[in-house]
Amino acid sequence: MKKLTPECLSIIPPRPQISHKGTFGRVVLIGGNQQYGGAIMMAAEACVRSGAGLVTVITDPVNHVALHARLPEVMVVNWYDLTSVQEIFETADVCLIGPGLGLEAHGQTLLSFVLNHQQAEQQLIIDGSGITLFAASSFTLPFSSQTIFTPHQMEWQRLSGLAIAQQSEEANKHAQHQLQATVVLKSHRTEIYSCGPTVQNPLGNPAMATGGMGDTLAGMIAGFLAQFSDKGAIQAAVYLHSYIGDLLAKERYVVLPTEISAALPYWMKKFSNS
């Protein structure tokens, strides 16, 4: 399997001189129930610090205050206010649904809403409980080629029907072919399955095995897709997430997800050669 190399980061361009915040994309993040609100906060931090122009978080209102206390740079929408959800969703270039979404009925309502309203030009990332809900439903993807799933191995089992022990490259590739969506299969060596060749991330380390690390990766993928136009955005997000994690782990027994987000602007600058 082809391994990602630092060259995959060359898709991070210098920013165009004549630009405004709209140039760098509108992202909507949906997730965070009463129990898992931290997940959508961590996704939002990653998304903002990866450079997305405008980020709105649609979440349980119980999470608004903590989110704003950490990150005034985002806008917030009460996820029970479906009129506002629709207004915001329509303006999005990229939508991430799933971090801390939970498995309750309202999570299903929101996932159903997103799948029913996705437009031809909108990219969609389905993460965390969003994957579990999708797997348990009869939903179909309206635009599979613009959809990315980011499961860990157990979520991939639910989505693909492949038990963890059966998740060989070939079987995964086959399952991806059925879905047509891109699959970022997270493990200690994350693999990306898509219409193109399968690639493996050679980076990452066990100090990153802590709650919230996947939410942070999902937020980065959303931010990268909002700014960088092709599939290379996903590879770059996956690679840089682990690249920073490996650097931080040189001096840390555990790397907190928010520490990766904090370091993002510095490393994106380095690799953009701008």
Beta carbon nearer to a second copy, 2 or 21: 21
Beta carbon nearer to a second copy, 45 or 191: 45
The rounded distance, in Å, linking the Cα atoms of 131 and 151 is 7
Looking only at residues 64 through 83 of this chain, which bind a second copy when binding is defined by CB under 8 A? Answer: 64-78
Count, residues in the chain? 274
With CB under 8 A as the contact rule, which of the stretches 1-9, 117-125, 155-163, 209-217 interacts with a second copy?
A: 209-217
- For residues 99 and 31, the answer to whether their CB atoms sit within 8 Å is yes
Under rule CB under 8 A, residue 107 binds a second copy:
no
Neighbouring-strand partners of residue 94: 27, 123
Under rule CB under 8 A, residue 106 binds a second copy:
no
Residue 231 assigned as binding residue:
no
Residue 100 assigned as binding residue:
yes
The rounded distance, in Å, linking the Cα atoms of 183 and 125 is 10
Beta carbon nearer to a second copy, 196 or 211: 211
Considering only CA atoms, which of 119, 144, 146 is closest in space to residue 231? 146
Least Å distance between CB 133 and a second copy? 18
Looking only at residues 163 through 192 of this chain, which bind a second copy when binding is defined by CB under 8 A? Answer: 187-188
The rounded distance, in Å, linking the Cα atoms of 73 and 190 is 30
Residue 189 assigned as binding residue:
yes
Under rule CB under 8 A, residue 158 binds a second copy:
no
DSSP 2: E
Under rule CB under 8 A, residue 117 binds a second copy:
no
Residue 194 assigned as binding residue:
no
Q: Pick left, alpha or beta for residue 31 (phi over 0 → left; psi -120 to 50 → alpha; otherwise beta).
A: left
Least Å distance between CB 274 and a second copy? 8
Least Å distance between CB 243 and a second copy? 14
- For residues 191 and 172, the answer to whether their CB atoms sit within 8 Å is yes
